[in-house]
Amino acid sequence: MARMTAARAAVEILKREGVTDAFGVPGAAINPFYKALKEGGGIHHTLARHVEGASHMAEGYTRTSPGNIGVCIGTSGPAGTDMITGLYSAIGDSIPILCITGQAPTSVIHKEDFQAVDIASIAKPVTKMAVTVLEAAQVPGVFQQAFHLMRSGRPGPVLIDLPIDVQLTEIEFDPETYEPLPVYKPAATRAQIEKAITFLLESQRPVIVAGGGVIGADATDLLVEFAELTQTPVIPTLMGWGTLPDDHELNAGMVGVQTSHRYGNANFLESDFVLGIGNRWANRHTGYKLDVYRGERKFVHVDIEPTQIGKIFPPDYGVVSDAKAALELFVEVAKELKAAGRLPDRGEWVASTQERKATLLRRTHFDNVPLKPQRVYEEMNKAFGPETRYVTTIGLSQIAGAQMLHVYKPRHWINCGQAGPLGWTIPAAIGVAKADPDAQVVALSGDYDFQFLIEELAVAAQHRIPYVHVLVNNSYLGLIRQAQLGLDINFQVNLEFENVNSPEIGVYGVDHVKVAEGLGCKAIRVTEPEQLGAAFEQAKKLAAEYRVPVVVEAILERITNISMSRTMDISDISEFEDLATEPGHAPTSIKPLKV
């Protein structure tokens, strides 16, 4: 046994749980923990500029690294409340991150002390556990339980709040004999998988909906093997994008009311059976018209969280299981059925899905000036290869990107799915690049997302964390403007102004190039489509040479409506024709084309 502060014991546990990186901002109430972090060694700390940014860095880190958990650290009071958005984002997408906050001394927590807030109560709805540790001797057990909870069942975040006197109190702790608690993951039985497969065998036009749980369980190889054995087309969800390559013959496209492919929706609507694995039937996937989504199809739902089964609609059969455990049995049973000659030939059905995939495509090649966003994504596909890790959050940029970019591997589409907070992209990209320093990391933002936590660019510049950031700038809250079409308004979504310091950028207002350069990064502005390819190549070279983020700002036409459903119905997608900007930036007339 060794005598050490509770803070030092916590740091030793972090290391033995596999933590190698942390992101945060020190402060008076968490300084004892930072002292332990410094003296303990073994954990690299990246200093954020905003504590919310630190939480998103931890998210990006975890989403990139199988089995590795991102850690974010802040002081008492507003540091914890700043990280709530990151915790919400993490729990919505089943991402384990550990948030550690400082706290006022135990004797004054409830006396309205400076920066003393009941952060555990605030964080409880968006964590698997949120606790203020009042006894120093409990610190090792609380941290041990935190990692057990984050990894067990449906993964998710935990917040541990440490009063400063608790951090400083010495306890007896032996790091050498510390062992992580066993991780619990429910596993399907053979009988359950055999029953689930009977639905598949009875169907004529089956599809697999592969969710983020497949990626989280590192089960993508198993999913591809099962799909190939049974000749079943796969529809990845937004969080499951990358479960199999976009160019795989069984990839039937994404489904939904926003981040979907024309051929994906068309393929799904032709199906008669759906096997959902590791997905939660999110409304951007199903739409609100569940009668359309369900139709006459039969559904089997496999998910690690028991309360997810039947939460959105009752499946015909539900299985509570970790995706990897279930898919191991799915493959085993499918191999036996194939050997016995009991698997039906799905060649005609597969061919029909690929015919739709080849023909129901959205136009991307435009020569317009200002740029159409579709052309930006076309050029990104040419410039950035299959090894690229894309990072993005929300907005028309993300929706169009999901419709037009290509992803070929798991954890190569790093996206905040449920929460969608603006500002997420820059810090998340830093976390991704930190987790995989050798990767080609490409972030994608609209101008408003880019501006929310823009100061975090300085973090990457300071710590020499390079990546390429594609900024599509229309000086609009584009998604909200498009949503306001249904209300016949265009109100408080226009970001244009004449910048007296940068008259050359006209009504686009913010000079992102100057701001990025002022924060220690490199930046390139593109105004014509022919410049895009060269700009992306230059950005890759600059990032490699200077080891800082390189921003490529594409000046877009002010108004472009992106394909999506205005009725939240996957059978009713408005495919907008080529639109021209009208004087006054009023909503343009639209001609919806039905899928």
Residue 583's Cβ-count burial label (10 Å; 0-12, 13-18, 19+) is exposed
Find residue 162's DSSP bridge partners: 102
Q: Residue 50: what residue type?
A: H
CATH topology identical between 2-177 and 373-585: yes
Q: In DSSP terms, which residues pair with 536 in a beta bridge?
A: none
Spot the catalytic one: 43, 183, 269, 480.
480
Cα–Cα distance list, 148 to 143, 157, 200, 341, 508 (Å): 9, 11, 35, 43, 49
- Decide if 485 is catalytic: no
Report d(CA 392, CA 61) in Å as an integer: 14
Written as one string, the DSSP assignment of 70-125 is: EEEEE-STHHHHHTHHHHHHHHHTT--EEEEEEE--GGGTTTT-TT---HHHHHGG
pLDDT in tens, 20-76: 999 999 999 999 999 999 999 999 999 999 999 999 999 999 999 988 999 999 999
- For residue 114, what are its two tokens? 């400076």
What is the rounded distance in angstroms from the CA atom of residue 428 to the CA atom of residue 414?
8
Question: Within its chain, how far is the Cα of 274 from the centroid?
Answer: 24
- The pTM of the full predicted model, rounded to 2 decimals, is 0.93
Angular region, 464: left φ>0, alpha ψ -120 to 50, beta rest = left
- 25 in catalytic set: yes
Catalytic residue among 19, 51, 426, 472: 51
Tell the CATH topology of 190-359.
Answer: Rossmann fold (3.40.50)
| Residue 422 appears among annotated catalytic residues | yes
Domain ranges (residues) in the chain: 2-177, 190-359, 373-585
Quickly count: other Cβ atoms within 10 Å of residue 514's Cβ: 14
Catalytic residue among 422, 510, 551, 562: 422
Residue 125: the pLDDT is: 97
373-585: which CATH topology? Rossmann fold (3.40.50)
Q: Is the preceding omega at residue 370 within 30 degrees of 0, hence cis?
A: yes
CATH of domain 2-177: 3.40.50.970
Task: Respond yes or no: is residue 590 known to be catalytic.
Answer: no
Q: Dihedral sign for Cα 64, 70, 74, 76, please.
A: positive
Backbone angles phi, psi at 374, to 5 degrees: -55, -40
Q: Catalytic one among 207, 331, 391, 477?
A: 477
Counts of helices then strands in the chain (DSSP H, E)? 24, 19
The angle that helices 84-92 and 51-64 make with each other, rounded to 10 degrees, is 20
What is the residue-level pLDDT of the chain in tens, covering all 595 positions?
699 999 999 999 999 999 999 999 999 999 999 999 999 999 999 999 999 999 999 999 999 998 899 999 999 999 999 999 999 999 999 999 999 999 999 988 887 787 789 999 999 999 999 999 999 999 999 999 999 999 999 999 999 999 999 999 999 999 999 999 999 999 999 999 999 999 999 999 999 999 999 999 999 999 999 999 999 999 999 999 999 999 999 999 999 999 999 999 999 999 999 999 999 999 999 999 999 999 999 999 999 999 999 999 999 999 999 999 999 999 999 999 999 999 999 999 999 999 999 989 998 999 999 999 999 999 999 999 999 999 999 999 999 999 999 999 999 999 998 888 999 999 999 999 999 999 999 999 999 999 999 999 999 999 999 999 999 999 998 888 998 888 889 999 999 999 999 988 889 999 999 999 999 999 999 999 999 999 999 999 999 999 999 999 999 999 998 999 988 999 999 887 543 333 333 333 223 333 3
Least Cα distance to 212 among 357, 396, 415 occurs for 415
Is 526 considered catalytic here? Answer: no
Q: Which of 25, 250, 468, 479 is catalytic?
A: 25
Alpha-carbon distance of 266 to 570, in angstroms, equals 9
**Rounded to whole angstroms, how far apart are CA atoms 394 and 418?**
10
Secondary structure percentages of the chain, helix, strand, coil, to 5: 45, 15, 40
